[in-house]
Amino acid sequence: MSSVQSVSVTDDDTDIRLDRWFKRHFPNLTHGALEKLLRTGQIRVDGARAKSNQRVYSGQIVRVPPLGQLLSAGKKKRIYSSISEYDAAFIQGLVIYMDSELIALNKPPGLAVQGGSKTTRHVDAMLDSLRFDGHDRPRLVHRLDRDTSGVLVIARSAAAAARLGRAFQSHCVEKVYWALVVGHPECSTGTISAALAKTGPDGSQRMEWDEDRGKKAVTNYRVVSTAGQKISWLELTPQTGRTHQLRAHCALIKTAIVGDQKYAVKSAHPDQTTDLQKGLLEDVADKMCLHARQIKLNMLGCKPLTITAPLPKHMSIAFKDLGFSEREAEA
């Protein structure tokens, strides 16, 4: 690229940050190189100097200087290998809702949302199979832990991703989780407000309560039903979105989530944990019983939308064994 370009912002790119616009259209340009071009005024929006965090809108003109060696020095754009017919059918079979803006999946436990050094099969790698009649590659707008099942919302375009991203950030989205936990909370309803911080070495990090270093984390809960004092069914509504928030908060009140090996040591009921492994729920105790049951979207200018995900097989079995009825949550 040896000459100056004047690029018009399209409808699909409206209302996103300038640095993200460049990442989308010039993926080989490093962030450091972009910042230098902005500082020296070589990149402009509608003729004016610009900053990386400013938003661009449809119809605006972005001045792109000759990038040449800056692009060749950048990292190669990640390209996923072709998706197998099996995986394409698999990911399409998870769809529980779709409109012109978004797709909702019922993610099964054990499937990662994004890849890592040892994770090659994940939702992000299969998104091209969810284009259907759309032109854009769908985009992730939030995450679920690998072992958490339930509603996962995916945007069908860049513009939809920007709108959904703002909705998640501005608390226009209500998330409802169902969990089976060991024991019974002291109170049947309550709010857990405990700042969380990462601790431990890489590869085995966990979230711990730390009011000094941690980030604010708030979870509302209620006990829907119980099986004696051994197992409780909790409805959890997080008010913040920290890593492992629900798992750490449940462990903090001494009721670890069934099947959660990382946080189970916080349980105040070791005898009951043994019961799970030896008899009670032994067929499901090796899988985490945390399910993103419902997402309620209240976006400006749109009708309220509620998406509900059926329970995964192992939790359905657990509910039956424990005598729980999903109708109890409506009480």
Domain's final residue, options 169, 198, 222: 169
Contacts with 86 (C-beta within 8 Å, 6 or more apart), sequence order: none
**What would the two tokens of residue 162 be?**
């920007």
Residue 48, classified by CB atoms within 10 Å of its CB into exposed (0-12), middle (13-18) or buried (19+), is exposed
Tally of residues, the chain: 331
Q: What pLDDT score was predicted for residue 272?
A: 53
Is there a single domain that holds both residue 161 and residue 183?
no
Contact (CB, 8 A) for 180 and 258: yes
Q: What is the pLDDT of residues 259-295, one digit of tens each?
A: 998 887 645 554 555 555 455 566 676 789 999 999 9
Residue 65, domain member (yes or no): yes
Longest dimension (CA), the chain: 73
Share of residues in the chain with pLDDT > 70 (%): 89
Positions in the chain short of pLDDT 50:
1, 73-80, 266, 270, 277
Which amino acid does the sequence have at 99?
D
Is there a single domain that holds both residue 141 and residue 196?
no
Residue 78, domain member (yes or no): no
d(CA 248, CA 200): 14
Domain's final residue, options 135, 169, 203: 169
Is there a single domain that holds both residue 165 and residue 177?
no
Q: What is the CATH number of the domain that holds 121?
A: 3.30.2350.10
12, 13, 99, 145: the catalytic one is 145
Is there a single domain that holds both residue 160 and residue 251?
no
Is there a single domain that holds both residue 217 and residue 143?
no
Q: What pLDDT score was predicted for residue 21?
A: 87
Q: What pLDDT score was predicted for residue 162?
A: 84
Contact (CB, 8 A) for 24 and 159: no
Domain's final residue, options 113, 144, 169: 169
Residue 119 is given by DSSP the state B
Is there a single domain that holds both residue 116 and residue 183?
no
**What would the two tokens of residue 278 be?**
């030896």
Is there a single domain that holds both residue 62 and residue 121?
no
Residue 80, domain member (yes or no): no
- Give the residue from 126, 183, 179 showing the smallest Cα distance to 290: 179
Task: Tell me the DSSP string of 269-321.
Answer: -HHHHHHHHHTTTTTTTTS--EEEEEEEE--TTS--EEEE-PPPHHHHHHHHH
Contact (CB, 8 A) for 136 and 158: yes
Contact (CB, 8 A) for 276 and 182: yes
Number of domains in the chain: 3
Q: What is the pLDDT of residues 210-230, one digit of tens each?
A: 999 999 999 999 999 999 888
d(CA 165, CA 139): 11
Q: What pLDDT score was predicted for residue 123?
A: 95
- The residue range of the domain holding 283 is 173-330
Is there a single domain that holds both residue 91 and residue 135?
yes
Instruction: Classify 34 as helix, strand or coil.
Output: helix
Which pTM value belongs to this model? Answer: 0.77
Count Cα neighbours of 32 within 13 Å in the Cβ-side half-sphere: 4
User: Is 15 marked active-site?
Assistant: no
Count Cα neighbours of 213 within 13 Å in the Cβ-side half-sphere: 7
Q: What pLDDT score was predicted for residue 189?
A: 97
Is there a single domain that holds both residue 136 and residue 41?
no
Strands 95-98 and 102-107: antiparallel
Q: What pLDDT score was predicted for residue 8?
A: 85
Contacts with 308 (C-beta within 8 Å, 6 or more apart), sequence order: 151, 293, 294
Q: What pLDDT score was predicted for residue 63?
A: 92
